[in-house]
Structure 1
């Protein structure tokens, strides 16, 4: 039988799922080296690989139909079509039909050895379940503790999270404010007396309120009562009540005695707003950039020779800029360490990062042994590949950074983007290495179909170790 030919004249579920109808389920092989089998609505016959060897030969070996014998939509019925028995959840099946559910294990032959093991899964089952969720709610818990009726335009107060009618709470708030001697003091929650910090409309509970009224029309208030409540309602958006103390993140600046008497430096966004540094002082209303590293501010200066944003991620970092302006962290806080944002050629690396090769520790170990075998230091190897990168000898499509074509060894990048850059260079270091120079335990491994994009390598150590993942995805194509 040729590869791709079925042992049955019936159409195969895996051959053209799109043509047959929407995919409703799939068979997931235990070995990710083999493709999943999709089951279409109008095509019940499963045509797939039966054995791990056999040169890619496929056969129509079973039939799976939606809905079990009990009519449950979350189950299905499987019937053996092959001349041999199959195993379903540990039970040997000849020709009879049996029910299966998501998670059922199916062996495509009479024994596990020499046959593929599949797991049955229904596509989109979780989404279907979500639409059928019903909320059971005691109506007494959906009543306002002020008017003792069902909420109307419900609002929620924080931090206690009690709920009231908008009109009821607004009137309570008005009266509390009128009777309070301390106008800065927050109103107390009508139910638990906790100081209310904020109040806002609760759209989720409003939908529940409407659903209750549809089911129990007797709880509907009169038009006059609703009109009165709405005339009281004053909560239109989230409202913060009382005086909240907000901690300032602005920089503290050195100042002379004269300046201390006349200027409040805490109002300045950055050091150059209050004084001249590096021949520059911010003009009033000048735009500023928030630093992604320390949260401080620096003036947005496209004219400066020192970049203020990482080209790899477009985030702002202030360390290099303030260093160029003669401002250091001992004088002004917060300021990023200069090491957080440096030129690629000025960086030094002494060990392979744990994040290299997608965090696959087996591939990292192989790379470390390859470096050790070369007799060169890691920094020397990285420097060699940076030269190739600058000369555009490398395909940059796998480099997961912004503006990849503009990046050179003189580009300023943050630590996170530099780690991605190192991962990219070590990938090319590995794929360019002849197989005979790899460690013996790595030289004879086959490459995973999904290459560096394989997700199984992250949660199955045996798969990560068995197959090579420092390669391009082929998905079975040579």
Structure 2
């Protein structure tokens, strides 16, 4: 016996907004055109026997729907059993089985089709490749950076070399394209995506791997840089007190005007803006104290000013050293909210496992940091930039530290034998979609009943 779905009461002229795609390609898709429809099942050996088995109601966000079980027995949605008349939310990719088991029933994948509004959002812009080329190397942008105020774009490596040579020769940095004085340069993630799409569309525009490696070795722009133009230093009239206050407001860096640690900013000094406090510090490329978090490439000033022996004051903003320090110097006493994909049920289970072992969260993290240093952990899913180079000695910001802790807690959990888990967790079946499951975020019952600290065995994230 096999059941096939069909729509009850659908009007052929209405626009189709979703489909139920059967797992068996021999059967047709169930097209959904009404905002509320009832799906019937047809038993193949009986062409006259049909019964309602679910009702699908389109939600107001137009990207999800609510499914109600209209059968007398249960159905299964994303691995969760839905009893008669119960409802749950389904999204694009949700799997629905029209019975309690798969024998005799088809499984369906719920697909939301792009509507007019979605199509408009997904509209791709046509762009001439000549308009996406760096005027220095004459190739498609690679790791593109944008300069201001002229807003011209260049490869990171190309402009980094131009910046280096400009600092050696003149007091201000000029745009390589229009010769305007550059006051700011930063990475442009939007244009980076545009360049990548162009290279996918036309592989002949790609550089060789050796060329890319050389270009990356030149790149020094990791975060937003503020460049001094030096113009106010060459003025023909003396500075008034108002002028001096304006200069201090535009360059709130302690080393602009005062020497600390043998260094004083000049008119060509490039400045970084701290992501934590917004204060400024000079970019020191040959300095041993790190100024960028290796997890997110953002600039933080706490470690730099601490090394200079400069304390925070009312006139200069600077963040605490606690905001940016080596991973091994961070401490943690609570479970990060991001752990186990924000699944609080899994977080509680991990907390119970740690307590059962008679250990603290800090003990467990120290153990798994040692495993990280010894390269005993698969880093494929590490949610940090430069994941292959990160060790316990790597300085990170607090945000990236918590992301790393969540990553290590996943490996701690999967290392625990099932029989050592708390009773409420040891008998659970794995969710088909594992840590990538979306249902765990909006269906508390599903999040509790299935184990989500496991690898996906279905779907696109396998």
TM-score, normalisation: structure 2: 0.55
Inter-CA distance 66–388: structure 2 relative to 1 (3 Å threshold): closer
* Cα contact 1:106–1:120 (8 A) shared by 2: no
How far the C-alpha of 1:419 sits from its partner, in A, is 0.4
* Cα contact 1:446–1:467 (8 A) shared by 2: yes
Tell me the residue number matched to 1:369: 352
How far the C-alpha of 1:284 sits from its partner, in A, is 1.5
Q: Distance in 2 between matches of 1:278 and 1:449?
A: 58
Q: Determine if the alignment matches structure 1 residue 26 to structure 2 residue 19.
A: yes
Q: Determine if the alignment matches structure 1 residue 86 to structure 2 residue 55.
A: no
Tell me the residue number matched to 1:401: 384
Tell me the residue number matched to 2:244: 264
Tell me the residue number matched to 1:441: 424
* Cα contact 2:429–2:450 (8 A) shared by 1: yes
Q: Determine if the alignment matches structure 1 residue 123 to structure 2 residue 112.
A: yes
Q: Distance in 2 between matches of 1:129 and 1:263?
A: 52
Tell me the residue number matched to 1:251: none
Q: Determine if the alignment matches structure 1 residue 359 to structure 2 residue 339.
A: no
Match of 1:45 among 28, 31, 56: 28
* Structure 2 residue ranges without an equivalent (≥5): 7-15, 57-63, 77-96, 99-106, 121-238
* Cα contact 1:345–1:410 (8 A) shared by 2: yes
Tell me the residue number matched to 1:310: 293
How far the C-alpha of 1:444 sits from its partner, in A, is 0.9
Q: Distance in 2 between matches of 1:325 and 1:288?
A: 16
* Cα contact 1:289–1:316 (8 A) shared by 2: yes
Q: Distance in 2 between matches of 1:122 and 1:370?
A: 38
Match of 2:371 among 378, 388, 395: 388
State which drifts further: 415-424 or 274-283.
274-283
* Cα contact 2:41–2:51 (8 A) shared by 1: no
Inter-CA distance 334–112: structure 2 relative to 1 (3 Å threshold): same
Q: Quick check: which has more Rg, 1 or 2?
A: 1
How far the C-alpha of 1:74 sits from its partner, in A, is 9.8
* Cα contact 2:19–2:31 (8 A) shared by 1: no
Inter-CA distance 76–305: structure 2 relative to 1 (3 Å threshold): same
Inter-CA distance 260–353: structure 2 relative to 1 (3 Å threshold): farther
What is the DSSP-based 3-state SS (H/G/I as helix, E as strand, rest coil) of the residue aligned with 2:380? helix
* Cα contact 2:254–2:316 (8 A) shared by 1: no
* Cα contact 1:105–1:120 (8 A) shared by 2: no
What is the DSSP-based 3-state SS (H/G/I as helix, E as strand, rest coil) of the residue aligned with 1:274? coil
How far the C-alpha of 1:113 sits from its partner, in A, is 3.2
How far the C-alpha of 1:337 sits from its partner, in A, is 1.2
1:42-441 equivalences under 5 Å are 45=28, 64=30, 80-82=42-44, 83=46, 85-88=50-53, 105=67, 111-113=72-74, 116-117=97-98, 123-124=112-113, 126-127=115-116, 264=244, 266-268=246-248, 269=251, 270-330=253-313, 332-441=315-424
How far the C-alpha of 1:453 sits from its partner, in A, is 1.2
Inter-CA distance 327–38: structure 2 relative to 1 (3 Å threshold): farther
What is the DSSP-based 3-state SS (H/G/I as helix, E as strand, rest coil) of the residue aligned with 1:329? coil
1:265-294 deviation line (CA, Å, top 9, x unaligned): 551421111101122111212111111111
* Cα contact 1:349–1:379 (8 A) shared by 2: yes
Q: How many residues align?
A: 293
* Cα contact 1:87–1:111 (8 A) shared by 2: no
Q: Distance in 1 between matches of 2:305 and 2:405?
A: 26
* Cα contact 2:354–2:361 (8 A) shared by 1: yes
Q: Distance in 1 between matches of 2:35 and 2:24?
A: 15
Inter-CA distance 461–314: structure 2 relative to 1 (3 Å threshold): same
How far the C-alpha of 1:456 sits from its partner, in A, is 0.9
Structural RMSD (CA): 3.9
Q: Distance in 2 between matches of 1:418 and 1:326?
A: 25
* Cα contact 2:431–2:450 (8 A) shared by 1: yes
